[in-house]
Structure 1
Amino acid sequence: MTLTMEEFQKKMDILSKLLVDGLGSTKILFHYSFAEWLLDVKHCTQKYLCNAAEGHRMLAMSYTCRAKQLKPLEVQEFALHLVNSNLQIEPFNLALWMVWNGTPAKDSLTTSIPREQEVLQLLVKAGAHVNNEDDHASCIVQQALEREDSIRTLLDNGASVNQCDSSGRTLLANAAYSGNLDVVNLAHI
């Protein structure tokens, strides 16, 4: 936080040999094992030791600054960083954080459902809609079929067990067809 822009750029130039292009215009470390080394107290010297939660907090703040312009997948990324930031804030307050900053959470589940249950719950609390009558909603329900906890969240927030996917099967029929008794019992309740 005390670096000037010139000092920061010099450090980035030195670090650039270890970075590769990530999604969008981001940079990531060349290999995940190097990132793990930077997070491991046993292997990394204090000078280079990093804190993952601090990184998530910085990324969450970056998304906060441009919250109103975020695309659906970026909204999911924003929620992921908030969840992993270890801010010791209740989930409903994280949802309020997103709402107060104008995050367009409503359509954040139109293309995919996040893998992390906490992220899905945060998005729903921030106003994401899951009860659409189009093929996207069917696709979302299909993606969530294997994750019972996601199914519970979807059902609790308006998704219908009678909603059909592109092949004409309902959520309940898909669960039965795949032999997932837990989801069948959950969807049948």
Structure 2
Amino acid sequence: MEQTDTLEKLRELQVKYLMEAEELFGPKTECNFAGVMPGNVSSPKFCYAAVPYDRSKKAFMIIINLSNAEKNFKDGILQISHEVVHMLSPEKDDNDKAVNYLEEGMATYFSKIITDRETSDQEFATSAIKGKEKYNEAFELYLSLHEIDKDAVKKLRLVNPSLASLTALDFRQTDIKIEEEMIERLLRKF
């Protein structure tokens, strides 16, 4: 697949996967989104930055490692499906609103179920997750929350739609039966 074909396909998948993420985790908040951009990055990222085609404007964008996605399209699926979860309630880079373990766990979980489904390779995402200790911990924490209440994130986002600014009080305002220690672990900044 050529670079332009790969990038176009990933842009199409971004739209599809975002709709699926909204069904699973609740609707996204409003944000200015510039799209999926290729970048010389070791791992994909969701960021707020100057728009490449108009440096005077800033917007949220997904930056992917296009060369990895071209070599193995499974990696492109894993990258884009993970990053779309960060589109649900993006925050401008601000230390007080940095991504927490809950959001990273959601993104890792979502990328695993999408990659497993789309590639029929149950080991690809599992191997990628286990190779990154923090992502694996976030994934396991999310799985524990999902086991307690599969709609926990939707319930939390009804109280506070911003994943990065969720608090222990937000958890208490739902009917989710969860221990304080687990809430603290989920809300730690990643």
Which one has the bigger helix percentage?
Answer: 2
TM over 0.5: no
Instruction: Give the TM-score band, short-chain normalised.
Output: under 0.3
More strand by share: 2
Q: Which of structures 1 and 2 has the bigger CA Rg?
A: 1
User: Whose RCO is larger (CA < 8 A, sep 6+)?
Assistant: 2
